[in-house]
């Protein structure tokens, strides 16, 4: 079972990759098949055609993004909060999908001034509706500062280490649903 960690922001100087590194590090302690899909690596314009357009033309970046999603059986979306919602670049990337995320479990890890709680809930709504993902019942809203609260190796500082237990529970759920739904598919 492959698990993809999605890095949901792309701006210059972003800190979300630090949060994703923490998620990847904790995942690796429990599972070995993990791939990081960082939106910065996929050159995708604003959605040019509906995803159900027959033989739609995709940039190489969009193809690689969709192939990366297709390869995975479960996902951890790592997102910041922009204007009380998810980053537009993440929504655009999701709008490209055409079944790749369907019937697969999704965990969500967010950060922001109020731990990204509003973006977290919005992402649950987006992925749990037409996209058809099985969004995990629980979630992770990171308490404390990502910048300064996470070491480069993905471990937490004493100020933020209380988040580890929440993430580990979320990972356990993702593995459980991932195995169950992979068998069902
Ligand atoms: C355009 C923009 C809007 C933001 N709006 C919010 C917000 O509504 N709520 C919040 O908690 N943080 C907000 N922030 C702060 C971000 O959550 C914080 O800067 C975080 O580090 C962004 O992730 P990034 O560094 O990966 O871009 C905003 C940041 C940006 C750039």
pLDDT tens-digit readout, 90-144: 999 999 999 999 999 999 999 999 999 999 999 999 999 999 999 999 999 999 9
CB 120 within 8 A of CB 79: yes
Nearest partner of 142 among 109, 172, 107, judged by Cα: 109
Span 149-154, mean pLDDT?
97
Full set of structural domains in the chain with CATH: 3-184 (3.40.50.360)
Q: What is the pTM of this model?
A: 0.98
158 CA distance to ligand 1 centroid (A)? 24
77 CA distance to ligand 1 centroid (A)? 16
160 CA distance to ligand 1 centroid (A)? 19
**Three-state SS at 77:** strand
Atom of ligand 1 nearest to the CA of 14: 25
């Amino acid at each position: 079972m492959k698990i993809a960690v999605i890095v949901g922001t792309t701006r210059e100087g972003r800190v979300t990759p630090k949060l994703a590194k923490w998620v990847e590090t904790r995942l690796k302690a429990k599972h070995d098949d993990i791939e990081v899909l960082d939106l910065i690596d996929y050159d995708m314009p604003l959605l040019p055609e509906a995803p159900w357009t027959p033989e739609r033309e995709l940039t190489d970046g969009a193809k690689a993004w969709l192939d990366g999603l297709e390869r995975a059986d479960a996902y951890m979306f790592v997102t910041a909060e922009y204007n009380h919602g998810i980053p537009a670049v993440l929504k655009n990337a999701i709008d490209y999908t055409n079944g790749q995320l369907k019937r697969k479990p999704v965990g969500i890890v967010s950060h922001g001034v109020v731990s990204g709680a509003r973006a977290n809930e919005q992402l649950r709504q987006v992925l749990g509706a037409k996209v058809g993902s099985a969004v995990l019942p629980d979630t992770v809203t990171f308490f404390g500062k990502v910048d300064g609260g996470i070491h480069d190796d993905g471990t937490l500082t004493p100020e933020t280490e209380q988040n580890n237990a929440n993430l580990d529970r979320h990972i356990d759920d993702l593995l459980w649903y991932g195995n169950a739904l992979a068998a069902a598919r």
